[in-house]
Amino acid sequence: MSIARGGRLPASVNEAMQALNQSVDVDCRLWREDVRGSIVHARGLARAGVIPSDDAEKIVEGLGKVATEIESGQLKWDPVREDVHMNIEARLIELVGPVGGKLHTARSRNDQVATDLRLWTRGQLDEAIKAIADFGAIIIERAEEHIDVLMPAYTHLQRGQPSRLSHHLMAWQELLLRDADRLIDARRRLNECPLGAGAVAGTGFPLDRDWVASELGFDGPMQNSLDATASRDFLMEVASALAILGVHLSRIGEEIVLWSTAEFGFVTLSDEFSTSSSMMPQKKNPDVAELVRGKAARLIGDVTSLFVLEKSLCFGYGRDLQEDKPPIFHAFEGALQSLRALSGAVATCTFNAHRLEAALDAGHVCATDLADLLVTKGVPFREAHHIVGQLVRLAENGNVQLSELPEASRVALHPVLGSLEAAAALDPRQAVERRGLVGGPARARVIEAVAGAKSRWRRIGKD
């Protein structure tokens, strides 16, 4: 039986065309969504009086048997039947007879696959949002654990000002909060039901599209049949959000790679998230973070593929859209792998507090605080900046830190620089506590940030 080709074309097809035409090796992963949508469609046909209720229940029962066969591996996908939809329908007809042929009444593969894709993507979004939330919780837990550990804040990968490890970790989770928000927003927009849109211009059968949408967990039916069957902007939006997530995970991974070097020594990955070298027996490599960086490149490629795929399509389904599945399948796979692996790495790593705090001993990290002190004494900031810059040059010429300069050298540039206030300004721990504005690294502010983040994650969990 050649269901896909129908009576218009002969049953046979050129071998090269067959290889190009079939997609069941890719879209077979939509089988659960296809069965679910078909069950609701069968019952919707019965509710509308299009087919008898008994026929609908025979179809539903048959679909249940097909699902069991797929789940157990008994059903073998046949590329001659092209795709997951035709494979399931053909097997249904084999099981229940000609009544199975009634299932496709008032339905096209165009609205069928669009529905399946939205159902599948919605489920994957829920999984991804949960994985992001789990990673966010791990980061917050590590931040609380290291609330009193100081470290430098960097710009241009140069030591800039005193900060604390927990503040840095909370910056990671701020990215993740926005990533989760983007996916939640995309989920809301895609949650419309294409079923009933038919091939391109709907159907003349009196289907209750609102009921069908509700049964499938959608907010409602899509409002335009052309748009419903031929638009994949929901995939572009989701893939874009996943690509941004991938970039964020890559940035975190990059810091883990740097921090785990002997030169930094800020973090030690657990053995279970490290690899060794095939040649150098001493090596312990941060491959988990490097692999996550690599996945980000693929995620960017996935969204690019989807953009290019749709950019030249007229309204009305085009077979080009058969290629919309590999990029979104791969994007979710890569994003979820990266999230779970990086979550495990951060949960089990050791942050080396002594190395983090020792990094404050070089780089003149309190230079800005010294300039700020001069400002409080009435010195314009630009002048204060210049004075402290001269002081830094003196320290570097003498191969010492600002706090190690002779008092006479400091006072020669400005009398205040020899005071006890100047000494306090050069204390990293006091410098961190002076940064008590919202969003700053002062201990109380970080504790507030942790509490606020927990509340925001709870709200995300309720959405």
Supply the residues annotated as catalytic.
156, 277
Burial class (CB within 10 angstroms; exposed 0-12, middle 13-18, buried 19+) of 381? exposed
Note whether 6 and 104 are within 8 A (CB): no
Q: Are 112 and 82 in contact (CB under 8 A)?
A: no
DSSP letter, residue 98 = G
In whole angstroms, give the CA distance from residue 189 to residue 168.
33
For residues 219 and 209, give the distance between their C-alpha atoms in angstroms, rounded to a whole number: 11
Residue 159 and residue 168 in contact, taking contact as beta carbons nearer than 8 Å: no
Angle between helices 165-190 and 443-462 (to 10 degrees): 20
Max Cα distance, the chain (Å): 101
Contact 432, 150 (CB under 8 A): yes
| Whether 20 contacts 320, CB under 8 Å | no
Instruction: Quickly list H helices, 311-462.
Output: 325-348, 353-358, 367-376, 381-397, 407-413, 420-425, 428-434, 443-462
How far apart are alpha carbons 218 and 234 in whole angstroms?
14
Nearest CA to 37 out of 106, 93, 96 is that of 106
Minimal CA–CA distance to 232: which of 331, 138, 113?
Answer: 113
CA angle 273, 278, 279 (to 5 degrees): 130
Q: Please classify residue 73 by burial: count the beta carbons closer than 10 Å to its beta carbon, then call 0-12 exposed, 13-18 middle and 19+ buried.
A: exposed
CA distances from 80 to 23, 66, 87, 199, 258 (A): 10, 18, 9, 22, 51
- 3-state secondary structure (DSSP) of residue 297: helix
Return d(Cα 426, Cα 404) in angstroms, integer: 10
Under a CB-based contact definition with an 8 Å cutoff, are residues 357 and 371 in contact? Answer: no
Backbone angles phi, psi at 200, to 5 degrees: -160, -30
Element (H, E) at 267: strand 267-268
